[in-house]
Amino acid sequence: MAEFESKERDVKDENTFRSVLVSKGIDFLLSPQGKVPLSSLDQKTTCLFFSANWCRPCKIFTPQLVQLYNNLRGTGREIEIIFISFDRDENGFIEHFKCMPWLAAPFDVDLRRQLSNLYRVNHIPFFISLCSDGMSAGEDAIPMVDDYGIEAFPFTGERRAQLKIIDDIKRRGGKLEDLLASRDRDYVVARVGTKVPISDLTGKTIGLYFGGLWCPPCRAFTLQLTEAYNELKITVNETFQVIFISMDRDEEEFYRNFSGMPWLAIPYRDRTRHELSRIFTIKGIPALVILGPDGKILTTNGRATISSYGSKAFPFTESRLTELEVSLHKEGEGLPRQVHDLKHNHVLKLETAKAYICDSCQRGGRFWVFSCNECNFDLHPTCVEDAQGDLDIDL
């Protein structure tokens, strides 16, 4: 196995790439201005980009890579990319290469075949760094580019491991600035367009709410969270704050969504949104991550906590949740299994529900409910007007 690994590593250097070209009698590369010698790769981090004009994902990814390449070059990083064409013919290649600012290997079906075997290219677009120690063979660096953008440079396994450690420190380290700010932004925004400094949030309990308007469960959860938020605004005032991390499809949708929310948000155009969902490995929305006053994670499942307990769950600590559970059990033990209510013809049975609307007072309720099995009728235990005098606790 060790021997196999060292062979893999040998393949991934620039000399191997050059020798493949030379063995095919190719001693130059193409730039947008014409031929350049292989020595133009000297002292540079060389990457290969396998792509084709006819491939839709390639068309989406190529402009991203152009931007990344220009940014890297603009900040003085010595990177060179070489396009290896999967186009159907030379004309397709020429057309495709027009949108790229880097170099290309001459169009050659045989060369492409040889290189894609060597680097185990099994799909396109495919992007690798020729100094990618720590990446396994056949591993594409595009997910890393998607996740980390310019930070992914030089696209090696080592760099990826470093970035994961940085993510981990941010997740566990408890510094809100590290988590919420970006290079040129030290604030979050409020609905009215004002900027709130992130330093103002230090010492508060913070909910990071990941949601999108296009997602119906998010719309429902926004209502639940708003209710809890407004209640906490009265009871604990400024010690609880929510930051919206938009998963909306575009900026217009973000504004429509955010305009209905009473809390703060990361600006839509900011990459931090993407970073936060990576750092907290958000797999589905709605999601609510709750951070304690020390900035450390209290729960990543704040959604369930809010749905179950609403504002009562504050300050969202484990001991508070245990306390709530115990008191709920007690409350249930004190209630009869069924009642006859004056307002309803059928027997109402004691059940638990995540959320319901009471048909007497029209307000929301959670957990214990007296519910009709025959029609859609629910009552708060406190809204029951007992018809048979059997609601006494000592039953």
Binding residue for Zn ion, selected from 215, 282, 350, 372, defined by CB under 5 A:
372
The helix (run of H) or strand (run of E) holding residue 37 is: strand 34-37
Stretch that binds Zn ion, among 108-116, 257-265, 310-318, 359-367 (CB under 5 A): 359-367
Stretch that binds Zn ion, among 17-25, 152-160, 281-289, 343-351 (CB under 5 A): 343-351
Residue (119 or 377) nearer to Zn ion, CB: 377
Residue (210 or 377) nearer to Zn ion, CB: 377
In this structure, how many other beta carbons lie within 10 angstroms of the beta carbon of residue 191? Answer: 15
Q: What is the DSSP-derived secondary structure letter of residue 129?
A: E
Binding residue for Zn ion, selected from 374, 376, 392, 394, defined by CB under 5 A:
374
Q: Is 204 left (phi over 0), alpha (psi -120 to 50) or beta?
A: beta
Residue (15 or 388) nearer to Zn ion, CB: 388
Rounded-to-integer distance, Cα 125 and Cα 285, Å: 28
Is-contact 308 368, C-beta < 8 A?
no
Rounded-to-integer distance, Cα 66 and Cα 145, Å: 12
- From the list 338, 318, 314, the residue with the least C-alpha distance to 326 is 318
Binding residue for Zn ion, selected from 361, 385, 387, 388, defined by CB under 5 A:
361
Q: Which two tokens stand for residue 89?
A: 């013919």
The CA angle 326-332-333, to the nearest 5 degrees, is 90
DSSP states of 231-274: HHHHHTGGGEEEEEEE--SSHHHHHHHHTT-SSEE--TT-THHH
Residue (202 or 360) nearer to Zn ion, CB: 360
Residues that bind Zn ion (rule: CB under 5 A) add up to a total of: 10
Stretch that binds Zn ion, among 125-133, 236-244, 326-334, 371-379 (CB under 5 A): 371-379
Answer whether the bond into residue 63 is a cis peptide, omega within 30°.
no
380 counts as binding Zn ion under rule CB under 5 A: yes
Residue (154 or 381) nearer to Zn ion, CB: 381
CB of 366 to Zn ion, least distance (A): 12
Stretch that binds Zn ion, among 27-35, 230-238, 293-301, 350-358 (CB under 5 A): 350-358
Binding residue for Zn ion, selected from 55, 115, 358, 384, defined by CB under 5 A:
358
Stretch that binds Zn ion, among 21-29, 125-133, 257-265, 368-376 (CB under 5 A): 368-376
In the numeric block, the tokens 């994902």 are attached to 57
Binding residue for Zn ion, selected from 190, 321, 383, 391, defined by CB under 5 A:
383
Stretch that binds Zn ion, among 238-246, 273-281, 300-308, 373-381 (CB under 5 A): 373-381
CB of 61 to Zn ion, least distance (A): 55
CB of 374 to Zn ion, least distance (A): 4
Is-contact 51 86, C-beta < 8 A?
yes
Q: Which two tokens stand for residue 67?
A: 């931007």
Binding residue for Zn ion, selected from 346, 357, 387, 388, defined by CB under 5 A:
346
353 counts as binding Zn ion under rule CB under 5 A: no
16 counts as binding Zn ion under rule CB under 5 A: no
Residue (296 or 343) nearer to Zn ion, CB: 343
Residue (62 or 224) nearer to Zn ion, CB: 224
Binding residue for Zn ion, selected from 223, 326, 357, 375, defined by CB under 5 A:
375
In this structure, how many other beta carbons lie within 10 angstroms of the beta carbon of residue 112? Answer: 18
Q: Which residues neighbour 366 within 8 Å (Cβ) at sequence distance 6 or greater?
A: 308, 309, 310, 353, 354, 355, 356
Give the residues lining the site for Zn ion (CB under 5 A). 346, 358, 360-361, 372, 374-375, 377, 380, 383
